Amino acid sequence: MQNTFFSRRIAACLLLSVMLVIGCAGKTKSAKHPAPGTPRIEFSELTHDFGKASQNQSLKHSFSFKNTGTGVLIIDKVRSSCGCTAALASGKEIQPGQSGTIDVTFNTGSRQGRNDKTITVTTNDPMQQNVTLKISADIEVLLSVNPQQLVFGKIQKGETPVRYASIIGNDKDTAKIISAESSHKSIQVAVNPSGFENDPEKKIKVAVLPGIKPGRFHERITITTDHPTIKTLVLSVAGDVIGNIMVNPQMLSFGVVQQGKQAERSINLKATGSHSFKVLKAETGHPAINATVEKVTQGMEYNVKVSIDHSKAVPGTILRGKLLITTTDKDQGTIEIPYWGRIEQQPQSK
């Protein structure tokens, strides 16, 4: 009797084990083979390295893929990162068993060194709704300006600071600079093939003249060369001229503002020396944005409070413009402060 009981238990355990094995096998099979009517995208490669490349070169590559599923594969979107373009060369709908390609073009431009770019492919494959492709290249410098940006930092009004830049790259000794032009009349540029201050590397001299307006500036210098492929080089110039009035911050961001929620920002204006001034008025140019002037210290310091009037702000509206602050200072009579914000969209009622 006891032997019969144990025999039945052993048989039950064996039966359960067999059922578990069959169940696991079924799951493994369904993972490898999609259910009927399900698309499946498979790329032959997810990355491509162009190796060494030159500036101003157009690099091209095609990524091939196949629909290994049983349903129609739909390519919804192909997005690429900056400096790279990608396009679907085949049709948007790929039948089961058929293949497609995505053509990628990378323009090296003035880039230098190692560059990695990504392409995101969005599909209706439930297992891979977003597939990321990657291309890489090591870009050799033929001709470039170094540094690519001259930062002057804070400049006291009336000073004439000077910065230098050099030409680098494999062709720096054979290419010649034809001209150099500044985008601002108060930023002066000069070129000396032999170099400035007895330094042959300092071929470009940039000076900020006293006449430049107080506040932040970001200008560019265009350098023309006789190089066969790199005809122009761009040198950025940035700085902040400190006048009689120190302004902080020099731009306002409200971000995304919830409806009805108080949103206020403050601009501080302070005399940098003994020179006194007055803030006469502050205007936003937008009916939904108010600005009021508050005196901190007569003739020396003021605050401008900027707030959003929700009774006049339309939900979903982008608020963008310039706050104009009028003062009695001869050099900073009108101070412009860019502002930005967005009123949150009302949720749709169910």
Task: Return the ∠ at Cα 118 (arms to 115 and 124), rounded to 5°.
Answer: 170
Say if residue 300's pLDDT is above 80: yes
Instruction: Check residue 143 and give its pLDDT.
Output: 93
Say if residue 154's pLDDT is above 60: yes
3-class SS string, the chain: CHHHHHHHHHHHHHHHHHHHHHHHHHHHHHHHCCCCCCCCEEECCCEEEEEEEECCCEEEEEEEEEECCCCCEEEEEEEECCCEEEEECCCCEECCCCEEEEEEEEECCCCCEEEEEEEEEEECCCCCCEEEEEEEEEEECCCEEECCEEEEEEEECCCCCEEEEEEECCCCCCCCEEEEEECCCCEEEEECCCCECCECCCCEEEEECCCCCCEEEEEEEEEEECCCCCCEEEEEEEEEEECCEEEECCCEEEEEECCCCCCEEEEEEEECCCCCCCEEEEECCCCCEEEEEEEEECCCEEEEEEEECCCCCCCCCEEEEEEEEEECCCCCCEEEEEEEEEECCCCCCC
Say if residue 312's pLDDT is above 50: yes
Quote the CA–CA distance of 309 and 263 in Å, as a whole number. 9
Task: Return the ∠ at Cα 278 (arms to 275 and 284), rounded to 5°.
Answer: 130
Instruction: Check residue 9 and give its pLDDT.
Output: 52
Instruction: Check residue 2 and give its pLDDT.
Output: 45
Say if residue 8's pLDDT is above 80: no
47 vs 4: which has the higher pLDDT: 47
- Taking residue 114's Cβ as centre, other Cβ atoms within 10 Å add up to 9
18 vs 327: which has the higher pLDDT: 327
Tokens 């439930």 sit at which residue?
A: 126
State what percent of residues in the chain have pLDDT above 90. 74
Domains of the chain, start order = 41-140 (2.60.40.10), 144-242 (2.60.40.10), 245-343 (2.60.40.10)
Stated pTM of the model: 0.67
21 vs 186: which has the higher pLDDT: 186
pLDDT-based confidence at residue 326 (cuts at 50, 70, 90): very high
Average pLDDT over residues 247-273: 93
Strands 144-146 and 113-123: unpaired
Instruction: Check residue 27 and give its pLDDT.
Output: 39
Closest CA to 64 of 137, 136, 131: 131
Instruction: Check residue 30 and give its pLDDT.
Output: 39
Weakest mean pLDDT among 23-27, 98-102, 140-144: 23-27
pLDDT-based confidence at residue 274 (cuts at 50, 70, 90): confident
Instruction: Check residue 20 and give its pLDDT.
Output: 44
Instruction: Check residue 21 and give its pLDDT.
Output: 41
Quote the CA–CA distance of 245 and 260 in Å, as a whole number. 34
Tokens 């498979």 sit at which residue?
A: 42
pLDDT-based confidence at residue 155 (cuts at 50, 70, 90): very high
| CA 319 vs CA 185, 264, 311, 341: distances in Å | 33, 14, 14, 5
End-to-end CA distance of the chain: 68
Instruction: Check residue 163 and give its pLDDT.
Output: 97
Say if residue 37's pLDDT is above 90: no
